[in-house]
Homo-oligomer: A and B are copies of this chain.
């Protein structure tokens, strides 16, 4: 299988390197041939080509079986008057590859439960799989400016089509069947027309195609509350691009260890894109202390969703749990205790696998 690596900016290269080693180890153990190619995205791509997503990167991604991304962005490219920004590369690759479904598992590693900002009795048992729609909604709606002075206005449209809602709801419902068989759809149908279309469409898909999956609907403001006081009540959650951006980031704080959370972005065919959900952490870039586990867990998702290699994915996830249980911690999850380097954490997972 051919895998494109997009190390990106900040700590991206360091953490991607460790995930690559883990994938190579899996290849050896399970007898797979993985080929790796690195390409440019984000700030480093702007520096070298002027474009946060050069055409060569897009082409390589199209031809690959899967893509593993580190992180993009940093203060160097934050000038608001700049022509382009690293994040533009991210938005463009989602759209170019049709990656309409962003999967974000929010799962607590029991070994890290005391890192949660929530009381133990509230967070315990939390295991949510978010499906965020990623190529539609207000992110890609038409935008404009008009008028001047006090009356200058700016506008951007939130748009959803029935087809867009159907495909993401189907994916989420299928995933629910392989889990606890419960799906929650989140919208703002009491205010927004696209949310009303979303709600109608989701209800129809669920009734016609997934009558056996327990289904309910929650307003986005209520969901922002429930995530804090009863996160363990949810199984699979599906929502639009903007609401998903906010809710998945909110949910990512619940386990208290951002450095442990992976995500996957999938299309209907073609390669999936896998990445940690944390950013490029420019403050610690190059110091060799970043936590590679989220990227390693993203590699596990890559095996599961793009290479149909579930046993291999489970092997990685188990190995990560084991190194945590053995007490290994990078600085971000060490809570002031002793910590190991990025590379030592990579070593530990590799050795555990062997």
Contact A158 B161 (CB under 8 A): no
Interface residues in A296-321 (C-beta closer than 8 Å to B): none
Q: In this complex, what residue of B is CB-closest to A190?
A: B87
Contacts of A224 in B (CB 8 A): 224, 246-247, 249-250, 253
Q: How far is the CA of A158 from the CA of B188 in the complex (A)?
A: 14
| Shortest beta-carbon distance from A134 to chain B in Å | 12
Contacts of A118 in B (CB 8 A): 117-119, 228
Interface residues in A181-229 (C-beta closer than 8 Å to B): 188-194, 196-199, 220-222, 224-225, 227-229
Q: Is A37 an interface residue (CB 8 A)?
A: no
Contacts of A191 in B (CB 8 A): 87, 91, 138-139
Copies of this chain: 2
Q: In this complex, what residue of B is CB-closest to A248?
A: B221
| Shortest beta-carbon distance from A28 to chain B in Å | 38
| Shortest beta-carbon distance from A17 to chain B in Å | 26
Closest A-B pairs by Cβ, 8 of them:
A154-B197, A143-B193, A224-B250, A150-B163, A221-B249, A228-B253, A153-B161, A154-B193
Q: How far is the CA of A166 from the CA of B193 in the complex (A)?
A: 28
Q: How far is the CA of A252 from the CA of B228 in the complex (A)?
A: 10
Contact A192 B138 (CB under 8 A): yes
- Mask for A69-85, Cβ within 8 A of B = 1, else 0? 00000000000100001
Contacts of A159 in B (CB 8 A): 153-155
Q: In this complex, what residue of B is CB-closest to A279?
A: B222
Q: How far is the CA of A256 from the CA of B118 in the complex (A)?
A: 11
On A, residues with C-beta under 8 Å from B are 80, 85, 87, 91, 117-119, 122, 138-139, 141, 143-145, 147, 149-163, 166, 188-194, 196-199, 220-222, 224-225, 227-229, 242-243, 245-247, 249-250, 252-254, 256
* 14 A-B contact pairs sorted by A residue (CB < 8 Å): A80-B189, A151-B163, A153-B159, A153-B160, A153-B161, A154-B159, A154-B198, A155-B194, A157-B157, A225-B250, A227-B250, A228-B250, A229-B256, A246-B246
Q: How far is the CA of A147 from the CA of B159 in the complex (A)?
A: 12
Of the candidates B85, B156, B246, B254, the one whose C-beta lies within 8 Å of that of A157 is B156
Contacts of A221 in B (CB 8 A): 245-246, 249
| Shortest beta-carbon distance from A148 to chain B in Å | 9
| Shortest beta-carbon distance from A212 to chain B in Å | 23
